[in-house]
Structure 1
Amino acid sequence: MRRKRGIWLAVGGVLLVVAVVGAFVFQPWLLFIDDKVDEGDDASEVVGTAQGGLTDTTVPEASGEQKTRVVLASAEFIDAEHGTSGTATIFRRSDGSRFLRLQDLDTSNGPDLHVWITDRRSGGDCEGCFGSWGIYDDGDYVKLGALKGNQGNQSYEIPDGADLAGMKSVVIWCDKFNVAFGTADIT
């Protein structure tokens, strides 16, 4: 009788350890908690769309004291491993700096989420086959930082030396599980 009780206590202890470790790794509570952010848009005025897309180096002229900006690329998010919607727009300001604006973003919350610009096409690989959402760290990418919130409006500065030639998509990337939550085609 004592032996059975000892076995059940040992099994129970192992299950408890597995549950605690699983909760730490997967952080399932994030699926039920939305992190909303509403950053104001850049103060510069949008004066047009660059003809050369991401590689366009034309810098819009400032209008007196008022900085201006042009759109280099813009696209709607599509679902990857999680339902994702909103708009990703890349701008160049009159001072030559660039930034990414996520507008009306709505995706699942999760552990270790980041914003990247990548050389992989939006929509995964092989039309959604198994593993198609894990390709975005296989090539070139520019890391813009941790996702500020899974819902709302937010901006990310693009590093001055970042080469956007050949970049094809904006990705909400989960580093912990190496998978895209959502992607936007910026080609």
Structure 2
Amino acid sequence: MKKLFALCFIVVAVACKKDLSSVIPVNDKPGGMDTMGRMMNTDTPVVLLKGTFIKGPYGTTTGTAKIIKDRMGVHHLFLENFTVSNGPDLKVYLSSDLNAGKYLRLGSLKSTNGNQLYDIPGQPDYNEYKYALIWCESFAHLFGSAALK
């Protein structure tokens, strides 16, 4: 009986340990932001290029697009103070022109407003990929663009 009581006590003691998962910050914010609203992995980002969004023929887009390099050397597209009209199947591209003739797809649009962060695969030639586009893939429509300089 004493052994059973001791075993039950140990099981209860182990089961009652403090759960630390709620105190560990989790990146559940949209657009690559941490729980304090700061960009992750970009303590001192270097802005390589930037441009201001202008509306396209099929939507209204405002804000700034910045190509940044984080402290690890990873390149990102940062959309700052960003808004775009809602549309179907919106994607974020780096493109050689406004017609998305040659482009890198950075992903689906995360939100129609607010700061957003998209990883750029590798280190593309920014002399070739001169534009950030908000592009509707289903209908091949330009919602907005930013010339990166």
Of the candidates 153, 165, 179, which is equivalent to residue 127 of structure 2? 165
Give the corresponding residue for 2:136: 174
Of the candidates 57, 66, 74, which is equivalent to residue 50 of structure 2? 74
| Residues 86-121 of structure 1, C-alpha deviations (whole Å, 9 max, x = no match) | 11111012321100111111111111100000111x
Give the corresponding residue for 1:106: 83
- The sequence identity of aligned pairs, in percent, is 37
RMSD: 1.9
Q: Residues 100 and 160 (structure 1 numbering): CA distance in 2 closer, same or farther, change over 3 Å?
A: same
Q: Give TM-score scaled by structure 1 length.
A: 0.56
Structure 1 runs (4+) greater than 4 angstroms displaced: none
Are 2:61 and 1:84 aligned?
yes
- Matching residue's letter, 2:130: K
Give the corresponding residue for 2:73: 96
| Residues 118-175 of structure 1, C-alpha deviations (whole Å, 9 max, x = no match) | 111xxx5xxxxxxxxxx22x2x211100000111111001112544331111000000
Of the candidates 31, 39, 43, which is equivalent to residue 42 of structure 1? 39
**Unmatched tracts of structure 2, length 5 or more:** 1-29
Between the two proteins, the alignment pairs up a number of residues equal to 115
Report the Cα distance in structure 2 between the residues aligned to 1:164 and 1:143, rounded to whole angstroms.
14
Superposition pairs for residues 82-161 of structure 1, below 5 Å? 82-120=59-97, 124=98, 135-136=99-100, 138=101, 140-160=102-122
Report the Cα distance in structure 1 between the residues aligned to 2:106 and 2:78, rounded to whole angstroms.
11
Q: Give TM-score scaled by structure 2 length.
A: 0.70
- Matching residue's letter, 2:132: V
- Matching residue's letter, 2:115: N
| Residues 59-96 of structure 1, C-alpha deviations (whole Å, 9 max, x = no match) | xxxxxxxx432101111100102111011111012321
**Unmatched tracts of structure 1, length 5 or more:** 1-36, 46-66, 125-134
Aligned-residue offset at 1:44:
5.5
Report the Cα distance in structure 2 between the residues aligned to 1:169 and 1:148, rounded to whole angstroms.
19
Larger Rg computed on CA atoms: 2
